[in-house]
Amino acid sequence: MFAHTTAVAPPRGRHAPLRVLLGFAALCAAVAVLGHHFREPIERVAVGFVERYGLVGMGLGTFVADSFSFPVPPQFYMLLSIAGGLGALPVLLAICSGSLLGGCTGFYLARWLSAVPFVATRLDRISEKPRALFEKHGAWAVVIASVTPIAYSMLCAATGALRLSPRLLLLACACRIPRLIAFYYLIQLGWS
């Protein structure tokens, strides 16, 4: 007599834009709290880092982070540069260069390792869902992943390990630059 209806769950990615905005707000707030409570010691560390390692250190640190998923993210170097008094353009050039080179290194390293039989068998077990997403959504999967909290290094490594087109890597790299710029200015806003 009555038609059976079932509730349809909202798509998982439906709240992703809100999560991204909340993440940006949390970053800005965290930097503001650090700047308010720990400004002097952070400035001392930042000036020391800038004097000792400079832009090369920031670029190299970002390269390592985005090549190998090292736990010191580019945002750390951004905070040091802002607290250390460096200008935005040279810092963004160093960090973006390190990030893009790191992403490419991670992509090709994962691609090379995925050809090793021992790694390939383990990768087959964990790659079903990511492969299905890339096959279903193609380039859009990379664009969407680029604006979510998924680590850029993991995105590049996944596209390499799944032996996807290097064009998808280029797309991830193109999406990375605006995100880094946004992070920089959010950190600067929080610091001031």
Asked if residue 142 lies in contact with residue 171, where contact means CB atoms within 8 angstroms, the answer is: yes
Task: Using the predicted structure, report yes or no on whether residue 49 has a pLDDT greater than 60.
Answer: yes
Report how far residue 88's alpha carbon sits from residue 91's, in angstroms, rounded to the nearest whole number: 5
pLDDT band at 186 (very low <50, low <70, confident <90, very high): very high
Task: Using the predicted structure, report yes or no on whether residue 4 has a pLDDT greater than 80.
Answer: no
Average pLDDT over residues 53-82: 95
Nearest in space to 62 (alpha carbons), one of 93, 98, 100, 91 = 98
Spatial neighbors of 112 by CB under 8 A, at least 6 apart, are none
What tokens were used for 48?
A: 């020391």
Task: Using the predicted structure, report yes or no on whether residue 151 has a pLDDT greater than 80.
Answer: yes
Dihedral of CA 54/55/59/60: which sign?
negative
The CB-based long-range contact list for 23-26 (8 Å cut-off, 24+ gap) reads 23/149, 24/182, 24/186
Average pLDDT over residues 95-124: 91
pLDDT, greater one: 16 or 161: 161
What Cα–Cα distance (Å) separates residue 189 from each residue in 56, 83, 183, 184, 185? Answer: 24, 12, 10, 9, 6
pLDDT of residue 23: 81
Average pLDDT over residues 78-99: 96
**Which residue matches tokens 């720990």?**
38
User: Is the pTM of the predicted complex or chain greater than 0.75?
Assistant: yes
3-class SS of residue 7: coil
pLDDT, greater one: 121 or 39: 39
pLDDT tens profile 122-141:
777 777 777 788 888 888 88
Report how far residue 139's alpha carbon sits from residue 164's, in angstroms, rounded to the nearest whole number: 11
In which region does residue 163 sit, left (phi positive, over 0), alpha (psi from -120 to 50) or beta (all else)? left
Asked if residue 123 lies in contact with residue 88, where contact means CB atoms within 8 angstroms, the answer is: no
Asked if residue 137 lies in contact with residue 129, where contact means CB atoms within 8 angstroms, the answer is: no
Task: Using the predicted structure, report yes or no on whether residue 188 has a pLDDT greater than 50.
Answer: yes
Task: Using the predicted structure, report yes or no on whether residue 184 has a pLDDT greater than 90.
Answer: yes
Q: Where are the domains of the chain?
A: 19-191
Q: Percentage of residues in the chain with pLDDT exceeding 70?
A: 92
- Which of 6-10, 58-62, 160-164, 171-175 shows the lowest mean pLDDT across its residues? 6-10
Average pLDDT over residues 70-77: 93
